Chain A
Amino acid sequence: GESVGLHLPTLSVQEGDNSIINCAYSNSASDYFIWYKQESGKGPQFIIDIRSNMDKRQGQRVTVLLNKTVKHLSLQIAATQPGDSAVYFCAENIEGNDMRFGAGTRLTVKP
């Protein structure tokens, strides 16, 4: 499959370490946020979401933090595995209309 995001910000971590991927969103009216993982040649895969009335949400090995004051979102992946290597996108949603995606971050996990 082809590569997505040839000139993206990159993050390289050692297998087993924790990863933190950051995202700045643009609209203070955004009320719903989603993190997606996209592997080469595939569509984005839903990871975790959070609504604006929360500041933290945890899933399996992943945690999303939302700081509305500075319009910042982060995705924390615990015990990163080689299978986590992909491009990660944050998306913001305004009142259920459209999702606006960030530029993406390429995560590379070194064995």
Chain B
Amino acid sequence: DAGVTQSPTHLIKTRGQQVTLRCSPISGHKSVSWYQQVLGQGPQFIFQYYEKEERGRGNFPDRFSARQFPNYSSELNVNALLLGDSALYLCASSRFQNTEAFFGQGTRLTVV
């Protein structure tokens, strides 16, 4: 079975640009969560989607948005990129809310 897949794996963007990151959950998983991990820290929660509805949001500015599609895949959008947005963006899927979550390999975003 395929695990959580994220694309792209690496991305370089310029300040002010917009970026879209993609995540395909494990088959049968209905919950997708997004995390930001900067170097030297643990992942920080951004969003959780379950059954295509937003169920949780972390302390991130409105420049960050996400959605979940009918096939349970998800996109994370970040507008007006700042240098500080450079990080590893992780997607995790779980069968339901509050069950074991499995992470993808992440998308490494570098903002220059």
Contacts and interface: CB of A to CB of B under 8 A. Distances in A.
A, B co-complexed: yes
Interface of A: 2-8, 31-32, 34, 36, 42-46, 49, 89, 91, 93, 95-104
B58 A98 contact: yes
Contacts, number: 68
Contact of B48 (A34, A98, A103): A98
Contacts of B44: 101
A45 B41 contact: no
Contact of A34 (B35, B97, B100, B104): B100
Nearest to B46: A98
Contacts of B90: 43-44
A36 B100 CA distance: 11
A6 B40 contact: yes
A8 to B, nearest CB: 7
Interface string B36-57: 0101111111001000000110
Contact of B45 (A31, A44, A99, A103): A99
Nearest to A42: B105
A97 B55 contact: yes
A3 B58 CA distance: 25
Given A43-B106, A98-B58, A6 B48 contact: no
Contacts of A98: 33, 45, 48, 56, 58
A101 B43 contact: yes
Contacts of B45: 98-100
15 contacts: A2-B39, A5-B40, A6-B39, A43-B4, A43-B106, A45-B103, A91-B42, A96-B96, A96-B97, A98-B45, A99-B101, A100-B45, A101-B43, A103-B41, A104-B42
